[in-house]
């Protein structure tokens, strides 16, 4: 069963293999935001040449989208890394998100709308990773305690088949990854948003009094 696998251990095994073989593969890394990327970049940039891909048409409104892009740029410029980190921005096409979310608007965070949202962003990443000849693709999403790592890895493996590019397993919240992302966000003065990203999650946060 997918959910019983330990994706962090699977990742560690791969990293050990790279070191033993003296390999530094390329990684196309989908990023949801700077705070989540901070720990992931600190961790993986010792093993991969990374291109961080910011593709998040789910984010609402546009000003919030822009703010998150700027924070990620700031982080990539400042973060020390053993191997170079590049950044690529996808297109901001919010209509694509709304079409995808149709009929699922009222669902709470963490259900089917979110699984489709992971897939939409990961699929664009897998497609471009394959097109660009990258060794691996993955996403920072599994760092959040609110995201379903089993589902993220399941989708990643389906996309690996579909686009013929290797999916890097992850459960970045393990090994205190989430805690470290909070420390790094504070160290680099990063803006930490208090809702996931879409207009529906913003409303949910409002109802809960978080914003």
Q: Write down the least CB distance from residue 195 to ligand SF4, Å.
A: 8
Q: Write down the least CB distance from residue 179 to ligand SF4, Å.
A: 21
Q: Are the CB atoms for 105 and 201 separated by under 8 Å?
A: no
Q: Are the CB atoms for 42 and 180 separated by under 8 Å?
A: yes
Instruction: Examine residue 149 and tell whether it contacts ligand SF4 (CB under 6 A).
Output: no
Place of tokens 């579909």: 162
Options 10, 109, 123, 135; binder of ligand SF4; rule CB under 6 A: 109
- # binding residues, ligand SF4 (CB under 6 A): 10
Q: Write down the least CB distance from residue 155 to ligand SF4, Å.
A: 12
CA 114 from chain center: how many Å?
13
Q: Which is nearer to ligand SF4, 114 or 165 (CB)?
A: 114
How many other C-beta atoms lie within 10 A of the C-beta of residue 131? 11
Q: Are the CB atoms for 139 and 122 separated by under 8 Å?
A: yes
Q: Which is nearer to ligand SF4, 31 or 58 (CB)?
A: 58
Closest of 134, 169, 118 to residue 52, by C-alpha: 134
Place of tokens 């259900």: 111
Q: Write down the least CB distance from residue 166 to ligand SF4, Å.
A: 24
Alpha-carbon distances, residue 41 vs 76, 81, 177, 203 (angstroms): 9, 8, 11, 30
Q: Write down the least CB distance from residue 184 to ligand SF4, Å.
A: 21
Instruction: Examine residue 113 and tell whether it contacts ligand SF4 (CB under 6 A).
Output: yes
Options 31, 51, 58, 185; binder of ligand SF4; rule CB under 6 A: 58
Instruction: Examine residue 12 and tell whether it contacts ligand SF4 (CB under 6 A).
Output: no
């Amino acid at each position: 069963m997918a959910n019983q696998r330990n994706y962090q251990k699977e990742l560690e095994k791969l990293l050990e293999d790279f070191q033993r073989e003296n390999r530094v593969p390329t990684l196309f890394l989908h990023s949801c935001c700077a705070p989540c990327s901070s720990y992931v970049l600190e961790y993986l940039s010792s093993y991969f040449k990374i291109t961080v891909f910011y593709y998040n048409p789910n984010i609402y409104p546009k000003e919030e989208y822009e703010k998150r892009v700027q924070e990620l740029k700031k982080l990539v410029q400042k973060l020390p890394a053993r191997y170079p980190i590049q950044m690529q921005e996808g297109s901001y096409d919010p209509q694509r998100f709304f079409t995808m979310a149709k009929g699922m608007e009222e669902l709470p965070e963490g259900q089917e709308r979110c699984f489709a949202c992971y897939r939409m962003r990961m699929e664009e990443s897998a497609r471009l990773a394959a097109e660009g000849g990258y060794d691996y693709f993955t996403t920072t999403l599994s760092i959040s305690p609110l995201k379903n790592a089993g589902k993220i890895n399941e989708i990643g493996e389906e996309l690996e088949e579909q686009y013929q590019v290797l999916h890097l397993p992850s459960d970045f919240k393990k090994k205190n990854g989430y805690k470290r992302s909070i420390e790094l966000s504070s160290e680099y003065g990063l803006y930490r948003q208090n809702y996931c990203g879409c207009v529906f999650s913003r409303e949910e946060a409002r109802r809960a009094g978080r914003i």
